[in-house]
Amino acid sequence: MAGRIPRVFINDLLARTDIVDLIDARVKLKKQGKNYHACCPFHNEKTPSFTVNGEKQFYHCFGCGAHGNAVDFLMNYDKLEFVETVEELAAMHNLEVPYEAGNGPSQIERHQRQSLYQLMDGLNAFYQPVFAANPPPTLRASIWISVV
C-alpha cells in the first residue's frame, strides 16, 4: 500500500454498499416505515434511537449524535482506520483498492495508533462503570460547571 485512495473509488464503493445490510449484519435492525431502527451500538440505551435510512444511505443516533455513511459506521463500530475500512469494504465487493502516488501512515504508525485505541477502550471500560455507580451530586456538578 502506498499513497492516497482516489475519491472516485470511495464514492463508487459507497454506491455499491447497502448500509442497511452492512449494519444489520452487526446490529439487529427493525423496519419502521421507510427507516430501520435499533438500540445504538455506540452508547448504552434501552429505547432505540439509532436510525438507518436505506434510501439516503446514512445512519444517525438521536441519543449520542453518532452519524455517517457506511465507511463512518465501520470505522466506529469495528474501530478501524480509514484505509483499513476502505480495504474491508472493497474486499466485501471483491474489488482491489487503487492507490495514488504519495505517502500514507507506515505500518508501525498504524500499529501504534491501534495500540492507543485499545488503551483508550480499556480506560473507558474501567471508568464508565465507576462514574455510573458514583455520579457527582447535582449541586457539586452545577458548581463545577459554573466554574469551568
Domain ranges of the chain: 7-104, 105-135
Phi, psi at residue 38, to the nearest 5°? -165, 170
pLDDT of residue 135: 63
Instruction: Say whether pLDDT at 6 is over 60.
Output: yes
**What architecture does CATH give domain 7-104?**
Alpha-Beta Complex (3.90)
pLDDT of residue 64: 93
Query: Does the reported pTM lie above 0.85?
Result: no
pLDDT of residue 144: 59
Mean pLDDT of 111-132: 85
Q: How far is the C-alpha of 114 from the C-alpha of 126, rounded, in Å? A: 19
Q: How far is the C-alpha of 71 from the C-alpha of 81, rounded, in Å? A: 10
Contact 52, 36 (CB under 8 A): yes
Tens-place pLDDT, residues 42-100: 999 999 999 999 999 999 999 999 999 999 999 999 999 999 999 999 999 999 999 88
In the numeric block, the cell 495500540 is attached to: 115
Phi, psi at residue 37, to the nearest 5°? -130, 155
Q: How far is the C-alpha of 114 from the C-alpha of 84, rounded, in Å? A: 11
